[in-house]
A = this chain, B = another copy of it.
Amino acid sequence: MIPVAPPPAPDLATYLGELRAVIEAGLARACPPDAPPLIDEAVRYAVLNGGKRLRPCLTLAVADAVADAARARRVDARWRALPCACAVEMVHTYSLVHDDLPAMDNDDLRRGRATAHVVYGDGLAVLAGDGLLTEAFGVLAESPSRVVPDGVAAAGADERLRAIAVLAAAAGVVGMVGGQAIDLAAAGRVRDRIEPVPDRAALENMHARKTGALIRAAATMGAIATGADDVVIGAIDAYARELGLAFQIIDDVLDVEGSAADLGKTAGKDAASGKPTYPALFGVDVSRRLAIECVARAHAALATANLRGRLAEIATWSLARQT
């Protein structure tokens, strides 16, 4: 008897599309049903926006990889990780809503749509961001979580507490908020503070906090929620640190090279605002080479814990993406 070959693995785009469908359904359930109509509308406008969902895809892809390594069922791992995935995307979305405010980056266009403060005014945009940040922790702490169907087994209490602590540390004053404060000061937007133009170390410190910390949290929370041991969690963290830096460098490069239509946001904005970027410090070619080196280190980190498959592909894809 001739053995039947397994079906070809779906390509990465199909895989990510499958994860995104799970995430979109979770996010639609993440907004509590009994909020006042106006804030409910603003929160949904911000979060149900057809974004790439990079961070929650990473959470679920890590859950898949951990399940594969443990020969456990992917579907169970995904349900356990879904509250983490939704919470990470809600935190990411809140940070964009606040970052787009006139008091911060003053951006009118995001993912090809008017930003929340343009539609609802600055005050309600502040509140919508506050609400998303708060509900992210609600989604993780409540039992059962509103983002999963009835009867699905949740992660254990200790894992959920650890995931909440990881998210708070990544998003808080040591992580994302701290990085945004450094960025704001570097752009001369903090009263009476003149900050020097950063060098490479300062730029990497800022990005490690501003975008890197949340990407690392997205990945490690996927591992924590699915019961991975500390060796695997450490490998995932190292992988995500390099992936996050590669994403940031390519983002900066695309901002120089891209158009508003491709990016769904105002192109050339970083350079125009005098923001420190990789291309500004190193030029486009060296920046791309730095990103390639990050991806090589990401692959090496996966190998240390014998994690294969989609996570490596995601890292490679981060270099080739056009948006």
- Please list the residues of chain A having a beta carbon within 8 angstroms of any beta carbon in chain B: 31-32, 34-36, 38-40, 42-43, 94-95, 98, 101, 103-104, 119-127, 129-131, 133-135, 137-138, 140-143, 157-158, 160-162, 164-165, 167-169, 171-174, 177-182, 184-185, 189-191, 193, 209
Which residue of B40, B120, B158, B177 is within 8 Å of A127 (Cβ)? Answer: B177
Instruction: Give the docked Cα–Cα distance between A40 and B172 (Å).
Output: 11
Assess whether A168 is in contact with B39, with CB atoms less than 8 Å apart. no
Assess whether B190 is in contact with A124, with CB atoms less than 8 Å apart. yes
Can you report 5 A-B residue pairs in the complex whose CB atoms are below 8 A from each other?
Answer: A36-B179, A101-B103, A127-B181, A140-B164, A141-B161
CB-CB under 8 A from A179, the residues of chain B are 36
Which residue of B120, B138, B167 is within 8 Å of A165 (Cβ)? Answer: B138
Instruction: Give the docked Cα–Cα distance between A97 and B189 (Å).
Output: 18
Question: In the complex this chain forms, how many copies of it are found?
Answer: 2
CB-CB under 8 A for A119 and B181, given A131-B173, A164-B164: no
CB-CB under 8 A from A101, the residues of chain B are 103, 122-123, 126
CB-CB under 8 A for A123 and B38, given A143-B161, A157-B161, A172-B134: no
Which residue of B35, B119, B171, B178 is within 8 Å of A191 (Cβ)? Answer: B119
Instruction: Give the docked Cα–Cα distance between A119 and B162 (Å).
Output: 35
Instruction: Give the docked Cα–Cα distance between A142 and B137 (Å).
Output: 13
Assess whether B168 is in contact with A121, with CB atoms less than 8 Å apart. no
CB-CB under 8 A for A173 and B141, given A103-B123, A161-B161, A181-B127: no
Assess whether B129 is in contact with A104, with CB atoms less than 8 Å apart. no
Which residue of B95, B98, B141, B190 is within 8 Å of A121 (Cβ)? Answer: B190
- Minimal Cβ-Cβ distance residue in B for A157: B157
Assess whether B181 is in contact with A34, with CB atoms less than 8 Å apart. no
CB-CB under 8 A for A172 and B123, given A161-B141, A164-B141, A193-B38: no
Counting chain B CB atoms within 10 Å of each CB, the highest count among A131, A141, A184, A189 belongs to: A141
Which residue of B32, B167, B182, B193 is within 8 Å of A174 (Cβ)? Answer: B32
Instruction: Give the docked Cα–Cα distance between A184 and B38 (Å).
Output: 10
Counting chain B CB atoms within 10 Å of each CB, the highest count among A42, A138, A190 belongs to: A138
Assess whether B142 is in contact with A168, with CB atoms less than 8 Å apart. yes
Known contacts A42-B181, A130-B177; 17 further A-B pairs (Cβ under 8 A)? A35-B178, A38-B190, A98-B126, A103-B122, A103-B126, A123-B189, A123-B190, A126-B126, A127-B181, A133-B133, A134-B177, A137-B167, A138-B165, A141-B161, A143-B161, A157-B157, A160-B161
Instruction: Give the docked Cα–Cα distance between A177 and B182 (Å).
Output: 27
